[in-house]
């Protein structure tokens, strides 16, 4: 039976998608999905995550719904399906598509004429859209960029939080979650928030051997910036530079222009047209360097990026590795360099504190939910914000902590309602506060892991990063500054696990996670 399924998978991969062979992990994930089992696949960029649901969708009766966070990603996947000899078609459901075309796609889905429907999570918050998809009887629900559901992930999106409830509303089809990077805590949160049932977890290698890793340490910001500018001038291009602030992106882009390097800033505070122009110029090789905040990156698949430099530290190894992974996608040599100042970690702590909530703020949200809406139902986030006078960041954190405590639920349309169990929203405040403390403990451990990576001197950086994500790897790799300098010693047979520095750091992070999980709500 299993061999017959593998043969069918191989036939479809070759005949309809043109794949001579499946990459490691793809076949295992496809088999799991086709057998009806919830599946989480963690595979690095370029390892063919999309092919998993495309091939599985051809083998399963019933349509496939694919949730993707960006319109550009959805469009690329529809184009990809059209370019294959696949028997089934795909369509995009987004605000970028005409209303008549959206209606036509939903009609085709219900008529069984459309296999793949790609959309952002916001579309599923519309009752009429959700009802028509439910009537179509989807057999597979795919969550692309699944790390977006995790507050420990590198691109948390609140709209992803309702997907677990939406899966239930759709009759509980099999769920496939896909992501390029997810450390164990992120994988666990994906499982919990999507409500995955005994999921098969498929871990492909996250190693990108063509990328060189390095860290340059500085004490003074001026010396760091000068070294960064000189490094950019000398480096093969094009490249991406990440800065922590909008002002920083603009300062660096201006300084590069003055040195004759074609550069542009990119951040969320810019007009949409200016951002679009900068991204288009960079993608078309009309711009040598784009200097950006983390607003730039997801959905940008430019194969020839030769470097990713960080002016400041990211908030975690998860974020850093995802950002560095945007270089060298063509398989040629590339490098990721962190220009590190210990003082810059304080900026990351400041950003993290924007959503921190205390007992009084959680209590405010609890009181508002107990009072309920004017119709006796729940409240939207906008209504909660008006009643509690909390920022969106703090409000979202308070709701999430109450949800962690089992006191509230988020409906598919985004409405927040008291949970069915006990305690209620107000009684659950102490549990929610403990959940917040648990989050803060893990966030601090993740930032400390980034510091440990930056301060490594005698160990392989690649080993450190891959061990962090739970992938066994022993240096030296020969493609990081420490290995190149001959500072990394190979393990001798009688050494114990975690004896080398990077393993010590990984063990410390693991203990911090375990402790936080045990003591948290």
475-518 confidence digits (pLDDT tens): 899 999 999 999 887 644 443 333 333 444 444 444 444 444 43
Under 8 Å between Cβ of 252 and 228: yes
Report pLDDT for 270.
Answer: 93
**Alpha-carbon torsion 288, 294, 296, 298, what sign?**
positive
Mean pLDDT of 8-37: 84
pLDDT for 517 equals 40
Tell me the two tokens of residue 1.
């039976």
At the topology level of CATH, where does 2-203 sit?
Rossmann fold (3.40.50)
Of residues 27 and 39, more confidence is placed in: 39
The percentage of residues in the chain with a pLDDT greater than 90, rounded to a whole number, is 43
Res 521 pLDDT > 60: no
What local confidence, expressed as pLDDT, does residue 445 receive? Answer: 83
> Looking at residue 131, what is its pLDDT?
92
> Which residue from 83, 115, 64, 73 is spatially nearest to 18, judged by alpha carbons?
83
Residues spanned by CATH 1.10.10.10 within the chain? 356-431
Q: What share of the chain is helix, strand, coil (3-state, %, to 5)?
A: 50, 15, 40
Query: pLDDT band at residue 421, thresholds of 50, 70 and 90?
Result: low
Separation CA 71–CA 82 (nearest Å): 17
Helix (H, G, I), strand (E, B) or coil at 178: strand
State residue 161's pLDDT score: 86
**Where are the CATH 3.40.50.300 domain residues in the chain?**
2-203, 207-343
pLDDT value at 54 more than 50: yes
The rounded distance, in Å, linking the Cα atoms of 32 and 425 is 38
pTM listed for this prediction: 0.80
Q: What is the mean pLDDT of the chain?
A: 84
Structure tokens at 162: 């309702």
For 390, counting Cβ atoms within 10 Å of its Cβ (0-12 exposed, 13-18 middle, 19+ buried), the class is buried
Least confident range from 227-241, 324-338, 407-421: namely 407-421
Contact in structure between 171 and 203 (CB atoms under 8 Å): no
CATH fold label, 207-343: Rossmann fold (3.40.50)
Q: What CATH number should be reported for the domain whose range is 356-431?
A: 1.10.10.10
Query: At residue 520, does pLDDT exceed 50?
Result: no
Dist CA 305 CA 211 (whole Å): 11
Q: Determine the 3-state secondary structure of 67 from DSSP.
A: strand
């Amino acid at each position: 039976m299993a061999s017959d399924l593998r043969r069918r998978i191989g036939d479809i991969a070759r005949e309809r998608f043109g794949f001579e062979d499946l990459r490691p992990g793809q076949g295992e994930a496809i088999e799991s999905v086709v057998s009806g089992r919830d599946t989480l696949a963690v595979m690095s960029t370029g390892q063919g995550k999309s092919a998993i649901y495309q091939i599985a969708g051809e083998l399963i009766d019933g349509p496939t719904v694919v949730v993707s966070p960006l319109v550009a990603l959805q469009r690329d996947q529809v184009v990809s399906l059209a370019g294959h000899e696949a028997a089934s078609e795909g369509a995009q459901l987004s605000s970028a598509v005409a209303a008549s075309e959206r209606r036509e796609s939903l009609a085709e889905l219900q008529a069984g004429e459309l296999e793949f429907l790609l959309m952002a999570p916001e579309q599923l918050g519309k009752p009429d859209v959700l009802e028509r998809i439910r009537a179509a009887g989807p057999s597979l629900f795919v969550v692309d960029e699944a790390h977006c559901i995790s507050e420990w992930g590198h691109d948390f999106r609140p709209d992803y939080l309702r997907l677990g409830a939406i899966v239930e509303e759709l009759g509980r089809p099999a769920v496939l979650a896909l992501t390029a990077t997810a450390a164990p805590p992120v994988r666990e949160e994906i499982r919990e928030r999507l409500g995955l049932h005994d999921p098969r977890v498929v871990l492909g290698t996250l190693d990108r051997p063509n990328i060189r890793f390095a860290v340059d340490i500085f004490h003074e910001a001026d010396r760091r910036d000068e070294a960064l500018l000189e490094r950019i001038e000398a480096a093969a291009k094009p490249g991406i530079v990440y800065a922590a602030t909008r002002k920083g992106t603009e300062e660096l882009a201006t300084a590069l222009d003055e040195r004759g390097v074609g550069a542009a800033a990119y951040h969320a505070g810019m007009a949409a047209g200016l951002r679009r122009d900068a991204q288009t110029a960079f993608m078309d090789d009309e711009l040598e360097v784009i200097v950006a905040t983390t607003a730039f990156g997801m959905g940008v698949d430019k194969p020839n990026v030769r470097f990713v430099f960080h002016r400041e530290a990211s908030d975690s190894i998860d974020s850093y590795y995802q950002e560095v992974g945007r270089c060298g996608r063509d398989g040629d040599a590339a490098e990721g360099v962190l220009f590190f100042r210990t003082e810059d970690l304080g900026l990351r702590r400041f950003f993290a504190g924007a959503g921190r909530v205390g007992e009084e703020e959680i209590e405010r949200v609890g009181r508002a939910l107990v009072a309920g809406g004017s119709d006796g139902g729940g409240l939207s986030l906008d209504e909660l914000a008006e009643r509690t006078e909390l920022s969106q960041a703090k409000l979202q954190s308070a709701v999430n902590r109450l949800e962690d405590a089992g006191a509230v639920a988020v409906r598919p349309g985004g409405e927040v309602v008291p949970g069915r169990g006990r305690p209620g929203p107000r009684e659950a405040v102490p549990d929610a506060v403990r959940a917040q403390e648990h989050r803060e403990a893990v966030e601090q451990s993740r930032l400390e892991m980034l510091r440990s990576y930056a301060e490594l001197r005698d160990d392989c950086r690649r080993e450190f990063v891959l061990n962090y994500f739970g992938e066994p790897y022993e240096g030296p790799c020969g493609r990081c500054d420490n290995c190149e300098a001959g500072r990394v010693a190979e393990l001798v047979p009688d050494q114990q696990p975690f004896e080398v520095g990077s393993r010590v750091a990984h063990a410390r992070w693991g203990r911090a996670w375990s402790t936080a999980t045990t003591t948290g709500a």
